[in-house]
Structure 1
Amino acid sequence: MLKLLKIRNMIKISFLLNQKIIFADLNKKPNKMKKLIFAASTLVLFACSNNEQPEQVTENIEVIVTKHGEEITEDGALTAAEYIAQLQGKDSIEAKLMAPIADVCQKKGCWMMLDLGDDVQMRVTFKDYGFFMPKDAAGRMAYIQGVGKIDTTSVEELKHYLKDANASQEEIDAITEPEIEYVFEAIGVIIKEEKLTTSGDAKEEEHNHDHNHDHDSHEGHEH
């Protein structure tokens, strides 16, 4: 028992001596104290950050569909390659096909160019000018139904189309000969656009906070 008390006393004395040495050393070197405080603060911040839960982020693909002209469906739409193959050797064909939109008339949206692949495009107009395309539709997927053929477009028409596309005067003046091109008169068009959206806990909390704030503001508003 006496030995145990002696050991405890020796430990206390040793601890007190170490404390005095540390405090004396820190009084001589105040910069060291700052470093110790900074290190302790860093550890606390690190511990807090580790306790935070990671934000759960979910990616979703939103498909936006717009329809123009007569009601049509996507069923049975040909690919560009299939359409070109069916048109060969014929004056014209009734068809439904899908292809990405390469360009749109920037004046009214009264025509668009579809990308058929291999640097080949097809000009699409709309029956009786009954409907028009959104001017920002380039890059979206189009499903069209109507009558297609290969035809000759005059120099005057080509220049007119270039003006509609906001081409430079130099590009317009460069047109000196008619062109043979794929043309199509559509009775109806479906445009599909895919948008990537993200949702997460932080955004949801922010939305709820804004909603509650708006609700509180609404309650305090007098009609």
Structure 2
Amino acid sequence: MPADTKSSDTTGPRHVAFIMDGNGRWAEMRGRPRLLGHRAGARRVREIVESCPDLGVEYCTIFAFSTENWKRTQAEVSGLMSLFRRYIQTEAQTLLKQGTRVRFIGDRLRLDAKLRGLMDMIEALTAHNTRCHLTIALNYGGRDEVARATKRLARDVADGRLDPDAITDQTLPRYLDTHVLPDPDLVIRTSGEARISNFLLWQSAYAEYEFVDTLWPDFTREKLEEILGRYGGRERRFGGVTI
């Protein structure tokens, strides 16, 4: 087959990551406070996570709060932190019963003690679940993650646990927050913005991307199914060619 010819691939993505954009705009378009949009977005998370196993998606990663989001107003940041605490408290038992395992990635040190405790709780509670793996990126930034991983790697070199001459492109991933996860096959960003916003920079090197106009609170299971259908028609070459 010529190198420029697409071949059909019916295999769906194992790992889908979401940049959940548009919550604030969704609320503003309705003349409501931005925090109302974030609450609507949290309800949408529930629907999408519930849908993933039925659609063949084993791993679902959501970008909940970036290292840059601290620049927002104090009222919005405080409201988001309260929403995260409430989400964990209200959804923990449902996620457990659904067979969803919850993990968090990002720098936890800046988060308040109560939120960190709840994060530890739900991770431990769902640790044995395998039906769906939900990863929540909270106080997360791709550059920050790589910097923290590099520090850990450098300490191992300094302590004699790692030979610098043995370092390859397979070494750093073992130090990333996502070291137990497969790389995302597909990254979806809602709200019409076409940028990756410092999300999973290393892990998404060969991911497929979908940028959709739909605001996150309006992003339905049907929309996800439509995108997964398009993904099935793509050919992923990973830098190679089709012969």
Q: Which has the higher strand share?
A: 1
- Larger RCO: 1 or 2 (CA < 8 Å, sep 6+): 2
* Structure with greater Cα Rg: 1
TM-score of Structure 1 vs Structure 2, range by shorter chain: under 0.3
Question: How high is the TM-score relative to the length of structure 2?
Answer: 0.18
